[in-house]
Amino acid sequence: MWDVLLTDCQAATMTTGGSSYGLIPDAAIAIEGERIAWVGTARDLPRADAHETRRLDQALVTPALIDCHTHLVFGGDRAAEWELRLGGASYEDIAAKGGGILSTVRATRAASEEELAQSAARRARVLAGQGVSTVEIKSGYGLDMVNECKMLRAAAVAGKSANIRVVRTFLGAHIVPPEYQNDRGAYIDLVCNEMIPAMARERLADAVDVFCDTIAFTTAEAGRIFAAAAASGLPVKLHADQLSDQAGALLAGKYRALSADHLEYVSEKGIAAMAAAGTVAVLLPCAWYFLGGGKNPPVAALRKAGVPIAIATDCNPGTAPVLSPLTALNMACTSFGLTPEEALTGMTRNAAAALGLQAKTGTIEAGKSADLAVWNVSSPAELAYWIGAPLLRDRYYRGRSMGMV
């Protein structure tokens, strides 16, 4: 007997090969323990016995959303810096004067692990309340062993308290910390020789990321860090070609990165390298918007090359103070020209791939974790269409209803 049977619903399974959105108009979904046991058209149900049957009044069920790029753990905020930017200062100017990421580093170092966990848990609960059951959280505002570990432990605590799966990424190479301003090589040595092996040994991180740009690390430096990650058995991701073309995507392809993220300035060669390596392009329209909407990422070229596209909030205090995944979907369509189906695929199936979790979550398929979102909408396109509407009716995480209504 199944544990739970969801009926009288439409299911956007987000699987490939079938109808648009993998839509099953009159669907049933059976859950056994933490997993999806069966999904299909209700009339094909092999049996209808379940401990509990929930009729959903034709609500839409999708895979729970996956926010695959966030910096959810941080101290302080950067509202004052935003005011400066509105007055004409650029993100790069502010960074050059010791503000930007470095100002969040100061606030994060000053915060206790408990304070960081609590503020991140509040943010994670907001994401969960919008249908997210998996969130990636990066370190990168500690920039020394103690504070990077503190951030990653806080990320795990935040996930538990919000009933959400957290995937942790070590971003020690976010920017050169103040104490190494005159010896960046020594900081990269520390990242490669001590921090990455410790993150792997202590299982504090699932992947390693680098911010590769003019204000952060060069492509050659990122290459050294990727080699260290590979030696420790950790997959890599890259903040690539956001503010300028640094050939970041080429490097991501070379190291078979799970994803290359931002990509406003990615080159044709970079796109080809990503396509060959199966690297996911994570586009971050909220950061693009909040930085003033400069160059668009080349969506048509990514599509043409067959690079899978994911969408995330990039929630962080500097470039994307955003806790609304559905707003990110809307912006992906209105600003970057994705179709609503591409956008939703980008926050489900392709977001799972960007985290290496495609076998576990991201689609509604038998055997996958029963991570589901139930929405009060009549068509999947509405998820990207409304801005700020309370559309979520319920969220399932590993088979359990979180009762969000």
Binding site for ligand NIG (CB under 6 A): 71, 100-101, 104, 211, 239, 242, 287, 314, 316-319
Residue with smaller CB distance to Fe ion, 209 or 371: 209
Subset of residues 216 to 255 that bind Fe ion, contact rule: CB under 5 A: none
Residue 248 interaction partner, one of ligand NIG, Fe ion, none, beta carbon < 5-8 Å per kind? none
Residue with smaller CB distance to ligand NIG, 39 or 152: 152
Residue with smaller CB distance to ligand NIG, 211 or 226: 211
Q: 136: which residues sit within 8 A by CB, 6+ positions away?
A: 67, 68, 69, 70, 166, 167, 168, 169, 312, 354, 355
d(CA 75, CA 118): 11
Residue 211 interaction partner, one of ligand NIG, Fe ion, none, beta carbon < 5-8 Å per kind? ligand NIG
d(CA 384, CA 94): 33
- Give the count of beta carbons closer than 10 Å to the beta carbon of residue 129: 15
User: Nearest approach, Cβ of 138 to Fe ion (angstroms)?
Assistant: 7
Distance of CA 143 to the CA centre of its chain: 21
- Give the count of beta carbons closer than 10 Å to the beta carbon of residue 110: 11
User: Nearest approach, Cβ of 292 to ligand NIG (angstroms)?
Assistant: 13
Residue with smaller CB distance to ligand NIG, 4 or 347: 347
User: Nearest approach, Cβ of 120 to ligand NIG (angstroms)?
Assistant: 14
Residue with smaller CB distance to ligand NIG, 248 or 340: 248
Subset of residues 300 to 329 that bind Fe ion, contact rule: CB under 5 A: 314
User: Nearest approach, Cβ of 59 to ligand NIG (angstroms)?
Assistant: 34
H-type alpha helices, 175-324 = 184-190, 196-201, 219-231, 248-254, 268-277, 285-290, 299-305
Residue 319 interaction partner, one of ligand NIG, Fe ion, none, beta carbon < 5-8 Å per kind? ligand NIG
The SS3 of residue 36 is strand
Q: 98: which residues sit within 8 A by CB, 6+ positions away?
A: 178
d(CA 143, CA 170): 10
Residue 101 interaction partner, one of ligand NIG, Fe ion, none, beta carbon < 5-8 Å per kind? ligand NIG
User: Nearest approach, Cβ of 71 to Fe ion (angstroms)?
Assistant: 6
Residue with smaller CB distance to Fe ion, 270 or 340: 270
Pairing of strands 392-397, 165-173: unpaired
Residue 318 interaction partner, one of Fe ion, ligand NIG, none, beta carbon < 5-8 Å per kind? ligand NIG
Q: 371: which residues sit within 8 A by CB, 6+ positions away?
A: 63, 64, 133, 134, 165, 361, 396, 397, 398
User: Nearest approach, Cβ of 104 to ligand NIG (angstroms)?
Assistant: 5
Chain positions contacting Fe ion, by CB under 5 A: 314
